[in-house]
Amino acid sequence: MMNKKSELEHNIWKVSMIAAPVLVAIAQFYWENGLVTSTAGLLQVLAFAFWIVAFKGLLDYTKSKLPVFSAIGFLIVVYAMIGGAGFGYDGIYTEAMGITTNEESTALASKIGLPLIFSLFIPGALFPLSIIAIGIALIRTKSVTLWIGILFIIAGISFPLGRIPRIDLFAHATNVLLILSHILISSTIKTEER
């Protein structure tokens, strides 16, 4: 019999698993000319806060069989989520500064230089890599069925493909994959498996 705390934690995890990709998908509708606006940025910051909880829960499902991966993975995931939220803040501040084109945004990033590499770009790259690694771990530990794990991995691979070229249609397609894979995982993993 599960205690109230584990049931509550599981429910918060399930809400976080769905809220994170849904908020990112909604934020996508507020991009302008390939740039994250202040509205999109706010939604993205909230999404990545939920993703910390969601990924912590996913790593909890793998820790009995992959304890080192789960422990180190959580540190990497948090760094990736800070970067994801950082891209949201970047959108908020660049809009406030009157930046309206990719060229202006790139010029500002070049001016800032090295700090952005470690605060945005490296953790930004770690986000999809985290999805892929966690997907593999979920498959290895049999926490999810093979096809759900593969869908999660494909969502991770597709994430940068939808964002780097700044093509809205690609980004919306990756958002659908993220939402679908997260819903399937949150509906198939049971509290008792933790």
What lies within 8 Å, CB to CB, of 188 at 6+ separation is 144, 145, 148
Q: Tokens at residue 109, please?
A: 């990033």
Query: What's 103's DSSP letter?
Result: H
Q: How far apart are CA 47 and CA 142, in angstroms?
A: 27
Whole-number average pLDDT of the chain? 91
Q: Does position 36 have pLDDT exceeding 60, yes or no? A: yes
CB 62 within 8 A of CB 141: yes
* pLDDT above 90: percentage of residues in the chain: 75
Backbone φ and ψ for 32, nearest 5 degrees, come out as -130, 120
Q: Does position 1 have pLDDT exceeding 50, yes or no? A: no
Q: Does position 178 have pLDDT exceeding 50, yes or no? A: yes
Query: What's 77's DSSP letter?
Result: H
CB 48 within 8 A of CB 93: no
pLDDT at 190: 65
Least confident range of 23-27, 60-64, 125-129: 60-64
pLDDT at 4: 59
Q: How far apart are CA 155 and CA 177, in angstroms?
A: 5
Q: Is 35 helix (H, G, I), strand (E, B) or coil?
A: strand
Least confident range of 7-21, 61-75, 119-133, 177-191: 177-191
Instruction: Give the pTM.
Output: 0.91
Q: Does position 46 have pLDDT exceeding 60, yes or no? A: yes
Write the single-letter amino acid at 148.
Answer: I
CB 52 within 8 A of CB 81: yes
pLDDT in tens, 106-135: 888 889 989 999 999 999 999 999 999 999
CB 185 within 8 A of CB 152: yes
